[in-house]
Chain A
Amino acid sequence: DVKVTQSSRYLVKRTGEKVFLECVQDMDHENMFWYRQDPGLGLRLIYFSYDVKMKEKGDIPEGYSVSREKKERFSLILESASTNQTSMYLCASTYPGNTEAFFGQGTRLTVV
Chain B
Amino acid sequence: GENVEQHPSTLSVQEGDSAVIKCTYSDSASNYFPWYKQELGKGPQLIIDIRSNVGEKKDQRIAVTLNKTAKHFSLHITETQPEDSAVYFCAASMNRDDKIIFGKGTRLHILP
For residue A55, give the distance in angstroms from its CB to the closest CB of chain B: 12
Contact B104 A42 (CB under 8 A): yes
- B51 to A, closest residue via Cβ: A98
SS of B interface (majority) = loop
Contact A103 B44 (CB under 8 A): yes
Query: Which residues of B are found within 8 Å of A104, using beta-carbon distances?
Result: 43
For residue A47, give the distance in angstroms from its CB to the closest CB of chain B: 10
Is B112 in the interface zone, CB < 8 Å from A?
no
Inter-chain contact total with CB atoms closer than 8 Å: 64
For residue A77, give the distance in angstroms from its CB to the closest CB of chain B: 20
Interface size class of A (residues with CB under 8 A): 20 to 34
Known: A42-B89, A42-B105, A98-B94. A58 touches B43 (CB 8 A): no
Interface size class of B (residues with CB under 8 A): 20 to 34
B43 touches which of A48, A56, A90 (Cβ 8 Å)? A90
Query: Which residues of A are found within 8 Å of B51, using beta-carbon distances?
Result: 98
Query: Which residues of B are found within 8 Å of A50, using beta-carbon distances?
Result: 97-98
For residue A107, give the distance in angstroms from its CB to the closest CB of chain B: 11
Contact A40 B104 (CB under 8 A): yes
Contact B34 A58 (CB under 8 A): no
Contact B99 A45 (CB under 8 A): yes
Contact B97 A101 (CB under 8 A): no
Contact A42 B102 (CB under 8 A): yes
B98 touches which of A35, A94, A105 (Cβ 8 Å)? A94
Q: What are the nearest 6 A-B pairs in CB distance?
A: A103-B43, A42-B104, A98-B32, A43-B102, A100-B46, A42-B105
Interface residues of A (CB under 8 A from B): 4, 31, 33, 35, 40-45, 48, 50, 56, 58-59, 90, 92, 94, 96-98, 100-101, 103-106
